[in-house]
Amino acid sequence: MTSDPAVASKLRCNVSFQALSSVPIRLGTDTYTIRGFRWKVIQQLDYADKLKLDAIQANLIDFDSLDGAFLKKVKEYADRLGILVEPGFGCIGPLSNRWNPRQGDPAKYLLEVVRVTRALGAKAAKVYMGNAADRRGPVPIRAQIEATLKGLRAVRPQVLDAGMRIAVENHGDLRAVELRALIEEAGKDFVGCCFDSGNPTGVLEDPLYSLEVLGPYTVTTHIRDTAVYEHPRGAAVQPVAMGDGSIDFRALTARFRQICPQAPILLEVITGSAPSVVPYFEPDFWKAFPDTPASELARFVALARKGRPFEGSMMIGQRGNQPPEYEAALREQQRVDLERSLEYCKKTLDLGIRWRA
């Protein structure tokens, strides 16, 4: 044992960290958080480096090209900075209202997901089946799941060969138990979850409950806070910066470190939207959620009863429908809210993160 107090202190910190988790947790951001700047992936990497982050999830719009040469350039640049780049892809559900027929078919699109992810050296790629509107569309959710499973199963050998996972996001289309069933039926050896902590509130779930269900399958994340509070029609929800909402992130991150510490914490802070209503007092609402257990609803209602509206300052804007001065203010809000959310994580939450020097 060393007699140097400074060295001993570092050793104690390392032992404490190892006792909590044998895998260092990466901290980063989803580039959608600062979408207003319209930065390309190299600019996003420079910004992440400035913030001393460990990872980004870059959306396809961020890439100048998806050809092999450009992806190699991105990987080499990211490697020099010591930053992981995960790709964020879109809809893989052919019966969803979000499906783009120009993608060919889901298997073809997923092969592109595999190619890009492999070129970037990532172990996960975010996709989603559909969105919240699918629950009220003409096609039952179970039929949409079956169609999505067909595409996933078609690319299992390629995904396994690439040593990665297809990470399906809980995107407001699926309840946690439905997404868990999709992952297990496809095969958890090559399909995982992109756990989004904001979307559960739209499907009547407390995000801590959603994490309990999806955490064992989680390989990447979108983490943000939400103000959840009672409303005459049911509950209101509004995305807010970390620490401004109703989610108990101390409890959530403690559980996260127990059940999915290998996944990165990627902040997807979405501010600038007005509150939306989850009208669970209205009978028509339940047509989209006929199988929701009373226990899950009760937990969500308890979350709303404890919550309160966001009372801080926030610009509310419609995408592409503001004067240039308002657009500039919304961009700056995105940056400020991301950076203060990162500070909240660093100072308030016991994440066990090894912050880069």
CATH number at residue 36: 3.20.20.150
For 65, 80, 166, 218, 241, the CA distances from 267, given in Å and listed in that order, are 25, 22, 19, 15, 10
Residue 357's pLDDT is what? Answer: 55
Burial 326-354 (b: 16+ CB within 10 A, else e): eeebbbebbeebbeebbebbeeebebbbe
Q: Which domain holds residue 209?
A: 23-348
Answer whether residue 230 is part of any domain.
Answer: yes
196-221: average pLDDT = 98
State pTM to two decimals: 0.92
Structurally, the chain folds into a number of domains equal to 1
Answer whether residue 330 is part of any domain.
Answer: yes
Residue 320's pLDDT is what? Answer: 65
**84: β partners:** 55
Q: How far apart are alpha carbons 78 and 56 in whole angstroms?
A: 10
* Paired sense of beta strands 234-240 and 276-278, if any: antiparallel
Structural contact between residues 194 and 222, judged by C-beta atoms closer than 8 angstroms: yes
Q: Render pLDDT for 249-275 as a digit per residue (tens, 0 to 9).
A: 999 999 999 999 999 999 999 999 999
Residue 239, pLDDT above cutoff 50:
yes
Residue 21, pLDDT above cutoff 50:
no
Whole-number percent of the chain with pLDDT over 70: 91
Residue 354's pLDDT is what? Answer: 55
Answer whether residue 171 is part of any domain.
Answer: yes
Q: Render pLDDT for 128-138 as a digit per residue (tens, 0 to 9).
A: 999 999 999 99
Answer whether residue 318 is part of any domain.
Answer: yes
Answer whether residue 104 is part of any domain.
Answer: yes
Tell me what the pLDDT averaged over the chain comes to: 92
Answer whether residue 133 is part of any domain.
Answer: yes
Residue 12, pLDDT above cutoff 50:
no
Answer whether residue 10 is part of any domain.
Answer: no
The pair of three-digit structure tokens given for residue 205, joined into one six-digit string: 């779930």
- Give the range among 16-20, 24-28, 120-124 with minimum mean pLDDT: 16-20
77-89: average pLDDT = 98
Structural contact between residues 218 and 262, judged by C-beta atoms closer than 8 angstroms: no
Answer whether residue 356 is part of any domain.
Answer: no
